């Protein structure tokens, strides 16, 4: 499973990318609002830091506006993927952008029907938001299972990005289902490395090594 970072914070991206495990980045208007700078500059800097797909979201609600925004964003860097919301206009824009050779990530997907439409429209990626579904009292991960099954049944090549990830167990469940990608906030990425027994083990090994050194 590929790991994308779900942030627009270049420091978080640099730190995680330095380990060599980051395959791409997703942003949204909320994430971009949390960092300083012009949108285009933020996206360019991320593209120059991570060699993989970088999602940048449009804010137009009509298909023509989305396509215009998408063309400008796609011109920033070859790795920019255009995030398009799952609406009727969004589906139209995704179809049109596919004919122009511009890759899309269909976002704000909360049902299997929406995931199906995204793939049929030709989205390169689909982003079901599992954490927000959990918050609403549903089982978000069920949508990942359904989407993976539907795409397998019909041979869609749209890649499933598990989005709205809230904790490391979401990542494990994504792996067990066989999702293509999880987009992970940096706080969750940090937690994936940690286990108290690892820290305890290191401490006791180092303490015992002191005894060996002093022989
Ligand atoms: C990613 O593509 C989404 O924009 C993001 O995962 C949403 O996460 P949130 O529900 O924590 O805002």
Residues designated catalytic: 83
The architecture of the domain spanning 2-213 is Alpha-Beta Barrel (3.20)
| pLDDT, tens digit, 9 for 90 and up, residues 178-213 | 999 999 999 999 999 999 999 999 999 999 999 999
For ligand 1, atom 7, the nearest C-alpha belongs to 164
Ligand 1 touching residue 131 (CB < 6 A): yes
H helix runs in the chain, sequence order: 10-19, 29-33, 39-49, 63-74, 88-99, 112-121, 130-135, 140-154, 168-177, 186-192, 196-213
Ligand 1 touching residue 65 (CB < 6 A): no
Sequence-distant (6+) residues with CB within 8 A of 83 are 26, 27, 28, 55, 56, 57, 58, 104, 105, 106, 107, 127
Give mean pLDDT, residues 65-79. 98
Domain residue spans of the chain: 2-213
- Full-prediction pTM beyond 0.85? yes
Q: Ligand 1 pocket: which of 34, 131, 185 to mutate (most atoms <8 Å of CB)?
A: 131
Q: How far apart are CA 141 and CA 2, in angstroms?
A: 17
Per-residue confidence at 14, pLDDT binned at 50, 70, 90?
A: very high
| pLDDT, tens digit, 9 for 90 and up, residues 44-70 | 999 999 999 999 999 999 999 999 999
Q: How far apart are CA 17 and CA 4, in angstroms?
A: 10
SS3 176: helix
**Structure letter (DSSP) for residue 158:** P
**Long-range contacts from 152-156, C-beta under 8 angstroms, 24+ separation:** 154/119, 156/119, 156/120
Ligand 1 centroid distance, CA of 204 (Å): 39
Q: Quote the pLDDT of residue 171.
A: 98
**Structure letter (DSSP) for residue 215:** -
């Amino acid at each position: 499973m590929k790991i994308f970072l779900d942030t627009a914070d270049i420091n978080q991206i640099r730190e995680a990318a330095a380990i060599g495990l980051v395959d791409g980045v997703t942003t949204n208007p909320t994430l971009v609002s949390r960092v300083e700078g012009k949108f285009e500059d933020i996206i360019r800097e991320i593209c120059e830091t991570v060699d993989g797909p970088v999602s940048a979201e449009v804010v137009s609600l009509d298909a023509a506006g989305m396509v215009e925004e998408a063309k400008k964003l796609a011109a920033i860097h070859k790795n920019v993927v255009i995030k398009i919301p799952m609406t009727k206009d969004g589906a139209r824009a995704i179809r049109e952008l596919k004919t122009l050779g511009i890759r899309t990530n269909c976002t704000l997907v909360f049902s299997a029907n929406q995931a199906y439409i995204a793939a049929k429209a030709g989205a390169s990626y689909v982003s079901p938001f599992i954490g927000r579904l959990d918050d609403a009292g549903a089982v978000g991960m069920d949508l990942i299972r359904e989407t993976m099954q539907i795409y397998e049944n019909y041979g869609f090549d749209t890649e499933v990005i598990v989005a709205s990830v809230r904790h490391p167990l979401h990542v494990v469940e994504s792996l067990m289902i066989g999702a293509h990608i999880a987009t992970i906030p940096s706080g969750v990425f940090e937690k994936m490395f940690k286990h108290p027994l690892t820290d305890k083990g290191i401490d006791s090994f180092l303490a015992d090594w002191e005894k060996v050194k002093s022989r």
